[in-house]
Amino acid sequence: IVASVTKSDHAPFLITPTPTPTPHPPPSHTNNIKMNLLKSSLLLLISCGSVHSFTASPSSLASAQRTTTTKTVDLLARPTTSLAVGTEIVEPSYNLAVGSLALGAAFGVPGSPLKSKLSAFLGGIPLTLFGLFLAFQTTTLRFTLDDDNFSLVKSNGESTGENVVVGGENVWAYKSFVNYDVFPSRNFPILIYFKETQTPEDQWNIGPGEQANSEEALAKGAVRGQVHFFPAIGNTEQLIGGFEKHDCAKLDL
């Protein structure tokens, strides 16, 4: 408050309080405040979404703390997978999914030099859908390597069930391998290939096995067995390193 003094010939000095104008923060400062409030609100929402709601009374606080602690201990103690101790889980790789999505965008995104009605239907849409499928497979499936077997399991370690082509669980003993490879190359992995004799022999010629076990292929040094192809949804170097570590048979054709 600022006091203003006025003098009159017929009255004593008068002191009149004059209100000081309320200072307004500059626009930039106001914007910073709004941004901080927005950030705080978002953090609060995220925090609220990750904790249990409870009434803030002493008894309920204690109860909630005990419940949260118990659940945390349970989660830490409970096995996250059904895998055997010592099993190596091959790291997932999204390279193939991202590459497929990028090609799909190149053929289908407006403004792309490759974009046309024909390319959008023949290339863009199929590649985009394939990329999404690969991303889903990469997220939900894992390759594993234990002391005796190579397996394809769910991301939580559970079995994937029977093989959709030849039946039987997706678990193969290293000693049954007769060959393995990466196509088109180890430096540019798209497909993981291996051939094994664990699958019953009457299934060996199903699908690509017919050509892989043909007289022509055998004359070139191939060995009979069941052929498998998987998209490279895992770390290829880690996977091939596991095959080499466990002495899986490989042909130099």
Give pTM, 2 decimals. 0.64
- The stretches in the chain having pLDDT less than 50 are 1-16, 25, 27-80
Instruction: Give the neighbor-by-neighbor strand order of the sheet with 149-154.
Output: 88-89, 141-145, 149-154, 171-173
Q: What is the pLDDT of residue 60?
A: 37
Distance between CA 183 and CA 16 in Å, rounded? Answer: 92
The whole-number pLDDT of residue 117 equals: 61
pLDDT given for residue 105 in this prediction: 81
- What is the model's pLDDT at position 79? 41
- Cα–Cα–Cα angle for 71, 73, 79, rounded to 5 degrees: 100
